[in-house]
Chains A and B, each alone.
Chain A
Amino acid sequence: MTRCRDLRGLWFSAPAAVVYLPLIAIPLAYSLYLSFHYWDGRAPAWTAAGIGNYLDMAKDKVFWRSLAHNLVLVAFSLAVQLPVAMLLAVLLERTRRLDGLMRTCVFLPYVLPTVVIALVWRSLITASVPEWLASPDWSLSAILLAVTWRFIGFHTVLYLAGLGMIDRQLYEAARLDGTSEWQCFRHITLPLMKPVIIVSATLAIVGSMKYFDIVFLMTGGDPDHATELLATYLFKMGFAHDRMGYSSAIAVALVVLALGSTVAMLQLKRWSDRRQ
């Protein structure tokens, strides 16, 4: 009987595996292998590079700058985007009239094509403050604006779902005791929302590490790498500079960073679940 069950499960999951593995697992292995070689994308043979590409990466100022920009994105999401999303969620939760309309407006950007988001902001900024996107010091802030515009509604709705699961009676009991709004938030809402906050932080961190579309379409990493991210840089190295091995090495670093932060956050979630 168990053997029979084994086969059923395999048959049912096989079609998905047959599409998933060749198109995802094999390309990943291929990238890893290529990262230990030099190749211009045309020559018939690859040249063994050992860890040459990784050494280049360690010495490449633009690589580190790109990584720093990714980290700015992470920091901005955690320090500004998520707290504002939490504020909006708490305020929306208490609004009875028109809350649906407001929720729609705040969430709408998230479902738009990234091409539309990037070009709406590029057009708007080019028309109103033309020097903004060209400024090496300020162009990254334009990216932060567009990225926040895209994602804040998503996190707001995530928090709303979490708030909806909190037992109202907790607040009523606290209010009878004369607890202030802030204390209610601090001692009831925040602790109970911890699992949701960790999930949203995980998505924000991993999303910021692998971000590509809006930067590629708004600035292309320019001016002079002022908005370059790891993903846009590896894309340039592979598809514009024909350095396939180097591009793959950056890709491997990106995968390690993204999956590493995912595992770290899942561990944090497990630890915080256990403490409750």
Chain B
Amino acid sequence: MKAATAARLAILWIAAAVGVLPLVWTACTAFKTDAAVTAGIWSLPLQPTLANFAEVAKSNFSTGLLVSLAVTAGAVLVLLALAALAGYAFAHFNFVGKKCLWITLMAGLFLPVHATLIPLYRIEADLAISRSWLSLVFLAAVYVAFNLSFSVFYLRGFFAQVPSALVEAAAIDGCGSLRVFTRIMLPLSVPALVVVALVDIVMIWNEFVFALVLIRSPKLATLPLAVRNFADDTGLAIPQTCAALTLAALPVIVVFLVAQRKIISGLTEGAVQG
């Protein structure tokens, strides 16, 4: 029995180490000079240098941070509003085309987004906004659209648990349905909204391919695009790249550590219930 426990813990420790060690290696390498990396890639940065981070500061990394912050904040706020309204509608009302719209929305969960890249690229070009800041608005709108499926799904599941009697009672009291929604449903749904917001923040903050196609100006690059610049086709400067990766991973790791229970449940519960 003792041996079994030891084996179990050993397997789990190895799994945990595999999860974290590549990140530890990246953070260590970020503090090394090129020469130190060549001398020994596994060695600790005994003479740490900040030169790599200075290199990152010279790139469009910091504007990328601000751009990603703005796009994520804007998209998530709109997303929450639209998804809460729609989730409530799907949970408590019957309406024309309900089933059809629901299936269309849920198909989005399994759709390869790459099938929409050329058309979206063309739409953006036709609007003649490819090089202006409006391309960021367009990108944010695309993020709203592509995260609606999960958000509506999750919130519908939440609103379905609210008894219809509560909705009807409030309606009889003379509340219009919009007031029932804003005064009763929204306050009730704050915990669910927080989960949806966290999942959407992670998804949009991390998103790469839409930004790659829709953002043409380097000044408007989101954080993932700015990070990707460190590894162009000609090769990659390992310590500088690692510095950029460390800085890019840090905010996500912090948010994850603070809110991991909610993030994990949002990302997995939806899947289990579906």
Contact = CB atoms under 8 A, between A and B. Distances in A.
A24 interface: yes
B76 interface: no
Give the residue among B8, B181, B264, B268 with the most A Cβ atoms within 10 A. Answer: B268
Which bracket fits the contact residues of B?
35 or more
Contacts, number: 270
A9 B18 contact: no
Identify whether the interface residues of B are mostly helix, strand, loop, or mixed: helix
Nearest to A23: B145
B146 interface: yes
Contact of A27 (B22, B116, B224): B116
Nearest to A210: B112
Interface stretch (B55-63, B188-196, B230-238): B230-238
Nearest to B114: A231
A17 interface: yes
A251 B268 contact: no
Given A91-B8, A105-B16, A210-B112, A12 B89 contact: yes
Interface string A13-24: 101110111011
Given A23-B141, A27-B116, A259-B110, A88 B89 contact: no
A149 B123 contact: no
B228 A217 contact: yes
A91 B269 CA distance: 20
Greatest chain A CB density within 10 A among B11, B114, B152, B245 is at B114
A77 B120 CA distance: 31
Interface residues of A, number: 90
Given A116-B249, A123-B242, A107 B260 contact: yes
A71 interface: no
Given A20-B105, A20-B145, A113-B206, A120 B116 contact: no
21 contacts: A6-B93, A8-B89, A11-B89, A16-B83, A16-B152, A23-B141, A24-B116, A102-B12, A102-B13, A106-B16, A107-B19, A108-B23, A110-B267, A111-B252, A113-B208, A115-B248, A123-B29, A149-B22, A206-B110, A216-B209, A254-B112
